[in-house]
Structure 1
């Protein structure tokens, strides 16, 4: 029987892990066949539109040495201008707007959210500071950015902290940004360049109203905003050769009505990429956060300006989209647009056949001084000099027929007149070969973060409640002689089962430990307070009510998961251990020294101290009302103290239930099987 039980447990665990792994793989796997099918339809639609506009049904464009059909732009994200922290963010941002933009001369610059920091000096509170917005506006004005390029900015979650609504006087984006006065939310900008039309769609998924941090980590597209963005997409699709989307939130962080944000972005057949920020490379753990979504477009998260000083150069060259992310002040900036980087090709959505018929390798090279030398080599063969055509464009003759099968590498060397040098290498292929995006970026960009938070919260809730309830049920059945007490050969498992079993027999502690997390999950509010300054809101696990609006639960589940891991589970384990030790000392008549007593209660002191710190941070973030009316944080400290007092002062007769089932002496000596006394 023990062997059968072990085998059954192993099978169940393997099955659960397999289901989880299968679901994860299905989420992050790019179905290239499906992408091809969707994009073939998209490219056919583009060809039909071209024909309707007076073109032909066949592709006659040749990628040669001409500077036509070429457009480039820049993106910067998560600037976080702060009046309290790191003045170099502003000074170097001014350099970017002045020196970098002058050197690269982009047609458009995309500023994809979190323009300001909006955090207090201690980083606990969050609100809009008009001085930060004035700094942002002054930098753009002083560098005369609007005379050099088209500046397209959009809000991020930090730009929406503590904002009661779009029309609120606290929504400084409307007054101090470039696009805010005319476009308070999503908008479309069309650029006519070298005979082609490029559309940039800014998608604003900020919450309305905007609560204070951290409850606006996840964005939401309302039904009204979805309808508005669909209209923009249809307008762009009807008139554009390429559509580039940008916004602050990655699609994994956007809640939207079915079919969702990804289907919306991938809808126009000309959509090639969605450019975003927000994740800050997840603290540096996941750099180069790129993937291709199953809806057929590239999703490219840009590392932040705040700490990493990264910006992006994007290029449309004869219908092919290429990009490179660059560290500020790292010159020269080099990008090969033909042959295109293999990882970022979009089969069916881009005219990749143009690479097969192209006559020239094409390189864009920018620097602070004139570029004097550009050389290329294919698969480390002979270096070939490139010819300067116009602006940043350098070209070299090549024969694509020599590279019809397999994956190859192109290496480029660039040097300017002041001695700055750069060497880059990238793969390419002409036969449809593919290479895969890295795992962590795919997980971050292709999953649904809100569902992940819900899953983690649900799992932690089950771990905190189910073992206790199972022990309670088993105890009742064993006491009623309706089953024999189970046995476990593993000593570690046996000891912790016993601890939880003992705890489950003490009703005055068991029921609060079970009811409290259920209350937080299903019934009661987590807190009542000024979620937005001057506006009282109510926070539940499943959402927030504030200013006559409902914000669906998302990051609240991450908050709840932290509470379960930092408070509920440790408190349960501490009380189970303490009660079991009390029963052990009672049965064995063993005295407890002062040092043992201190060690027994020290974990509880850590748990309560940590929870008091969280409650203090909550008070700094949301004020006194939220602190006092806070079942999640403040009241949990009171609950812990009450349960600790009950455990310390528990009468000995309350442990008789457990003592009647367990032979404590034998268990702790590790001798034989557990038996009833």
Structure 2
């Protein structure tokens, strides 16, 4: 009977895992596209002329701070002065987190006017807005502790380039030749904007979705239009209340080529190239941060083909090969491969602080061919695409300026649709739903912590009622810990608090305090109430998961060990004297976990203030709970272990208890 149930459990687990795996693979798949042409089946003939070409820049996560790393400010001024002069972009997209908004201790968060003045002064002093169209938008740091757009702390309105005219989402259009280029900025900042850390995921409310839909209609009303979407949050970190997600909004816009963003900072260097092709039919490209990595992006739309290169500040020359386009980023749903197949020239954009001396190119292992200068940064070399009609090939460009700086770049290309795969980590970071993931890991850990306690308690009652054979435990590590947890679940004064507290975290308030400016709010796992507004839970679940894994899980194991120790003390009379090593093993783990939780409670106090600290079941009250349970189990009266003794203090188990006790003493 036991084997049958075990097999059934294995089969059910395999089915559930298969369903989950299939859904994840389906979500991350980017192979759902087939090559398409425009409505007339035409393409723009690509030759050696500068027509149908535009280039622009993106910079993100400046984190201008008055407390740390002044080079962020100094080198940002260099970017606005020298980089813009050398590249001469038509547009600069500054995609959020323009300021750091963190207190001197890096824990609290609020808006500092001095940081915004640095940003404004640099843009003004370098006359960046005269050199290019400067399109900036808010990030979550620019929205820390801002109750609404009319708040005195909303410095974006007064100190940014676009803030006064466009406080949230907006669109700019540029007419160049026969083409219209639209740039749609998506502001997904929360309103109100809580202090960190509960401001990590953005949201588009109904009004913002309506506004974005109106921008799409305006963009689609014009033929020969190419649209670039930009914002701070990746689509994986944007909630929408209605049926349309941010990916649906971008994907339904037929002329939208790409969504560029920041926010994730390459995940601390784990994913330095965070790119993917969304199933809705557009590229999503996260640029590395300026804060620590000093990265920016050069982008171009050349005859309808989008190309880009991520560049580190002060690295020159800068090279961008626009034809043939990089095979990984060719979007068959939005770009016509015939444009490359029927082109007459390889096209390269070359930039440097000094004049360009030499530009040459080669394909695969062929000879180097010197490129001809056309205009601006454009260099070309004639080629015969028919020689490379099948499979993957490599194009390599070499650039040297008159001051001797040298740079080379290479990229794969394909003329028959042969595709490359994006990295799995990039696809997970940009294609998953962060809020759903946070919620899943929270509830999974919750079940993992609580369910075994109730199952073992049920097994205990089954044994004592005679419905189940008493377990035979060996001396393995697994058997020891099962016995310890079993004993803990029989002690009512310990079982109910340790089992119900994590359940409480799933529905009860975590803290009450000043969450935004001087407004009192309430934090739940499932959302935040402040200033009459409800912000759905997202990063709160991740915060709760960290509480469960760093506090609840180790505390449960520690209390189980203490309960087992007290059980042995009371059952083995007279109790054997413990060695110093055994005492350390018994008490030190608790004080480590308790100290860690005290540190987290202190950080929470710095972030949200005294009221949130005092009215904080998540952090502060959990310390009281842990201390009380620790004291009670160490001084547990004999009557409280009677239930455990009914199973474990028998003649068949006495030897095991003695052996374990002997090992602890030794």
- TM-score clears 0.5: yes
Contact 1:70–1:194 (Cα < 8 Å) also in 2? no
Cα distance between partner residues in 2 of 1:253 and 1:423: 35
Structure 2 contact 613–620 (Cα < 8 Å) conserved = yes
Deviations 1:242-292 (A, max 9, x none): 000000000000001222000101111110000000000111111100000
Cross-structure match for 1:450? 435
**Which of 77, 98, 116 pairs up with 2:99?**
116
Q: 1:22 to 1:585 in 2, by over 3 A?
A: farther
Alignment match, 2:629: 643
Distance 1:623 1:70 in 2: 53
Aligned residue number for residue 145 of structure 2: 162
Conservation of the 8 A alpha-carbon contact between 1:584 and 1:665: no
Task: State whether structure 2 residue 366 is matched by structure 1 residue 381.
Answer: yes
- Work out the CA distance in 2 between the residues paired with 1:6 and 1:471: 16
Check whether the contact 1:65–1:395 (CA below 8 A) recurs between aligned residues.
Answer: yes
SS in 2 for 1:661: helix
Distance 1:3 1:470 in 2: 18
Other-structure match for 1:586 = 570
- Residue 188 of structure 2 is matched in structure 1 by 205
Q: Does 1:334 align with 2:319?
A: yes
1:2 Cα deviation from its structure 2 partner: 7.3
Decide which of 401, 404, 423 is 1:438's aligned counterpart.
Answer: 423
Cα distance change of structure 1 residues 666 and 194 upon mapping to structure 2, 3 Å threshold: farther
Whole-Å separation in 2 of the counterparts to 1:278 and 1:2: 51
CA-CA distance at 1:14 after TM superposition:
4.1
Q: Secondary structure at the match of 1:192?
A: strand
Residue 619 of structure 1 corresponds to 605
Query: Aligned pair count?
Result: 653
Q: State whether residues 114 and 248 of structure 1, in contact with CA within 8 Å, keep that contact through their aligned partners in structure 2.
A: yes
Q: Of the candidates 345, 353, 369, which is equivalent to residue 330 of structure 2? A: 345
Out of 477, 480, 494, the position equivalent to 2:465 is 480
- Deviation, 1:60, is 5.6
* TM-score, normalised with respect to structure 1: 0.94
Q: Deviations over 1:66-97 (max 9, x none)?
A: 00000000000000000000000000000000
State the distance in 1 between where 2:253 and 2:322 align. Answer: 23
Report the counterpart of residue 51 of structure 1 in structure 2: none
Secondary structure of the residue that 1:201 maps to in structure 2? Answer: strand
1:659 and 2:645 aligned: yes
Q: 2:163 aligns with which of 158, 177, 180?
A: 180
1:90-149 Cα shifts (integer Å, max 9, x gaps): 000000000000000000000000000000000011000011001100000000011100
Q: Please state how far the C-alpha of 1:581 moved relative to its aligned partner.
A: 2.2
Q: Could you tell me which residue of structure 2 aligns to residue 227 of structure 1?
A: 210
1:597 maps onto 2:597 in alignment? no
Report if the CA contact (8 A) 1:237-1:243 is conserved: no
Which of 540, 556, 568 is the aligned partner of 1:572? 556
8 Å Cα contact 1:495-1:667 kept in structure 2? no
- Residue 201 (structure 2) aligned to one of 195, 214, 218: 218
* Contact persistence 2:566–2:636 (CA under 8 A): no
Q: Distance in 1 between matches of 2:186 and 2:80?
A: 23
Is this contact kept in 2: 1:72–1:106, CA < 8 A? yes
Aligned: 1:259 with 2:247: no
Is 1:404 aligned to residue 381 of structure 2?
A: no
CA distance in 1, matches of 2:500, 2:391: 62
- Measure the CA separation in 1 of the matches of 2:473 and 2:536: 44
**CA contact 1:134–1:176 (8 Å) conserved in 2:** yes
- On the 8 A contact 1:188/1:200 being kept in 2, the answer is yes
**Structure 2: stretches of 5+ with no match in the other structure:** 661-666
Q: Using the alignment, how far apart are the partners of 1:159 and 1:569 within structure 2?
A: 36
In structure 2, relative to structure 1, the CA distance for the partners of 1:297 and 1:630 (3 Å cut) is: same
Q: For residues 171-570 of structure 1, what are the structure 2 equivalents within 5 Å? A: 171-239=154-222, 241-256=225-240, 257-487=242-472, 491-522=476-507, 524-570=508-554
Look up the match of 1:93.
Answer: 76
Q: 1:489 to 1:145 in 2, by over 3 A?
A: same
Q: TM-score with structure 2 length normalisation?
A: 0.95
Give the whole-Å Cα distance in 1 for the aligned partners of 2:450 and 2:336: 56
Determine the C-alpha separation between the residues in 2 that align with 1:199 and 1:444.
27
For the Cα contact (< 8 Å) 1:585–1:591, is it kept in 2?
no
How far did 1:21 drift? Answer: 2.6
Alignment partner, residue 664 of structure 2 = none
Whole-Å separation in 2 of the counterparts to 1:359 and 1:278: 39
CA distance in 1, matches of 2:9, 2:584: 38
Cα RMSD (Å): 1.7
| CA shift digits 1:590-613 (9 cap, x unpaired) | 332344223201111011100000
SS at match of 2:373: strand
CA distance in 1, matches of 2:553, 2:43: 66
Give 1:488 deviation, angstroms.
6.5
How many Å separate the matches in 2 of 1:472 and 1:290? Answer: 49
Q: Secondary structure in 1 aligned to 2:110?
A: coil
Contact 1:467 1:500 (C-alpha < 8 Å) held by counterparts: no
Distance in 2, matches of 1:485 and 1:426, equals 67
Q: CA, structure 1 residues 287+670, in 2 after alignment: closer, same or farther (shift >3 Å)?
A: farther
CA contact (8 A) 2:146 2:193 kept: yes
